[in-house]
Amino acid sequence: MRDALRGRILDGTYRPGDKLPRDADLATDLGCARATVQRAMQDLSDSGLIDRRRKGGTHVRSEPVTRAVLDIPVIRHEIEGGGARYGYRLQARRVAVCPPDVARRMGLAAPHRMLRVRAVHLADDRPYLAEDRWVCPRTVPGILTLDLETHSANEWLVRTTPYSHGEVAFYALGADAPLAAALDCAPGTALMAIERTTWIGAAPITSVVSVARPGYRLGTEI
Amino acid sequence: MRDALRGRILDGTYRPGDKLPRDADLATDLGCARATVQRAMQDLSDSGLIDRRRKGGTHVRSEPVTRAVLDIPVIRHEIEGGGARYGYRLQARRVAVCPPDVARRMGLAAPHRMLRVRAVHLADDRPYLAEDRWVCPRTVPGILTLDLETHSANEWLVRTTPYSHGEVAFYALGADAPLAAALDCAPGTALMAIERTTWIGAAPITSVVSVARPGYRLGTEI
DNA sequence: AAGTGGTCTAGACCACTGA
DNA sequence: CAGTGGTCTAGACCACTTG
């Protein structure tokens, strides 16, 4: 039923920009309940094919987008899932005032004392991902007493600190000297960076830039 | 109601790995209808927080993932949405047998004659994105007679050729000489590449590698 | 084979928002 | 303020999958 509706849009019955009948009418046409149409429409809306607005009605998107859902697993699981042995090396841990760009990412008006953690995740003893993380101890006091030699901040946070929302960005980055050393590659090598910042309510939790080893790909089906 | 349920999982009532009561019981507990629980659970499942299996029940994911939904707009809209003037330059168009890696991406057993199109998209006359595209004329014959000087293959395809599924991948890439020339940057500059392949049913439509200008970021909220 | 989630119906009310 | 989508209920049946 839902698939029938989806087909009706994809097969060209309705064209980009077209307005669709209201749910109730579509339900009558198709001989099904309104809730069914509603659910089908919700799906299509989630996939980015249509736009729905109360009172405005439902329209086929005239500017279609490719919507990709990316799963970014906990790094240990990604490495072990690839059949490699996971390792972790703490490189630096210190409390410091964060630079302005980190404060901006976190939505703070002014720089702030935070815990900075730099670490490298290893797959079969070879560098896989270098992370440079700032954690806000005002939001997550427990991080200050955690033994970061043995516990990855990454995993401790996901296990203990739920977040309400966050931002993710992907970009390419040329390896500078410290990154090249951490990832065991030539300076200037093109690397993929994932930047993530999370909050619980209005309180920032952490902001991290993770840089993957050369050749890393992030992929999914659409 | 849905939010109440979501809260119940996020607030630590249920822990990673825990099994949740069946929908019907939760509905009784919360004093709501089973359909409501079902919808809430569906949401949580979509966000990657829980795993649901018929007969197996519902579990809080023990290996949480960060699930990011990325919208990749049609490039012209992205450029115009940024307030810049859109431009397009065709660089090459020829029919040729595709290399083995392109055939592999498309799921073809053997290389195949296809149309190759290389083009650059411009924002305010400056290079924004370079695309190297292979189109399968067996699936999309119309592409052979299209005037690619004036029409971007990108837009023509999204307007005329629906796809049933596809694959997308992101990775970093150092600029080789032709790319550096196309994007007006130094050779070796780290660039972000988006590789996309689409099919209609079992028939491959197109496979494209798009490389964005230096500094390009792809971001979203989670 | 039984237990669980997935989908559907028919009906109601609510919430947002565009004319 | 009226029209549309969003959410909810109470009940039914189906489909998958695991023990």
DSSP letter string, B2-71: HHHHHHHHHTTSS-TTPEEPPHHHHHHHHTS-HHHHHHHHHHHHHTTSEEEETTTEEEE-SS-EEEEEEE
pLDDT at site A10: 66
**Distance between CA atoms of A212 and A30, rounded to whole angstroms?**
50
Lowest mean pLDDT of A34-48, A190-204, B148-162, B176-190, name the range.
Answer: B148-162
Instruction: Give the tens place of pLDDT for each residue, B124-176.
Output: 999 999 999 999 999 999 999 999 998 899 989 988 887 888 999 999 999 99
pLDDT at site B16: 83
Task: Check residues A140 and B13 and name the one with the higher pLDDT.
Answer: A140
Check whether B8 has a pLDDT greater than 80.
no
pLDDT at site B214: 98
Model confidence at B62, in pLDDT bands (50, 70, 90)? confident
Phi then psi for residue A132, to 5 deg, are -125, 110
Q: Give B-chain residues touching A216 at CB under 8 angstroms.
A: 171-172
Q: What percent of chain A has pLDDT over 90?
A: 76
Model confidence at B201, in pLDDT bands (50, 70, 90)? confident
Q: CB–CB of A63/B73 below 8 Å?
A: yes
CB contact under 8 A, A10 and B162: yes
Average pLDDT score over residue span B108-137: 97
Report the mean per-residue pLDDT for chain B.
93
Check whether B61 has a pLDDT greater than 80.
yes
Q: CB–CB of B118/B210 below 8 Å?
A: no
Average pLDDT score over residue span A132-158: 93
Check whether A12 has a pLDDT greater than 80.
no
CB contact under 8 A, A218 and B171: yes
pLDDT at site A63: 81
CB contact under 8 A, B69 and A74: no
Of the candidates B36, B33, B40, which has an alpha carbon nearest to the alpha carbon of residue B6?
A: B40
Model confidence at A41, in pLDDT bands (50, 70, 90)? very high
pLDDT at site A130: 98
Model confidence at A5, in pLDDT bands (50, 70, 90)? confident
pLDDT at site B13: 80
pLDDT at site B17: 87
Helix, strand, coil shares of chain B as percentages rounded to 5?
30, 40, 30
Positions in chain D where some atom is under 7 Å from a protein CB? 2-12, 15-19
Q: What percent of chain B has pLDDT over 70?
A: 98
Q: Give B-chain residues touching A172 at CB under 8 angstroms.
A: 172-173, 190-193, 214, 216
Minimum-distance residue to D8 (CA–C1'): B36
Strands (DSSP E) found in A77-125: 86-97, 113-123
**Distance between CA atoms of B42 and B53, rounded to whole angstroms?**
12
Instruction: Give the tens place of pLDDT for each residue, A63-117.
Output: 878 889 999 989 999 999 899 999 999 999 999 999 999 999 999 999 999 999 9
pLDDT at site A65: 84
Model confidence at B10, in pLDDT bands (50, 70, 90)? low
pLDDT at site B32: 93
Task: Check residues A16 and A99 and name the one with the higher pLDDT.
Answer: A99
Chain A: residue whose CA lies nearest to B65? A73
Model confidence at B4, in pLDDT bands (50, 70, 90)? confident
Lowest mean pLDDT of A156-170, B28-42, B163-177, name the range.
Answer: A156-170
Of the candidates B148, B140, B131, which has an alpha carbon nearest to the alpha carbon of residue B196?
A: B131
Average pLDDT score over residue span A158-183: 93
Average pLDDT score over residue span B31-38: 94
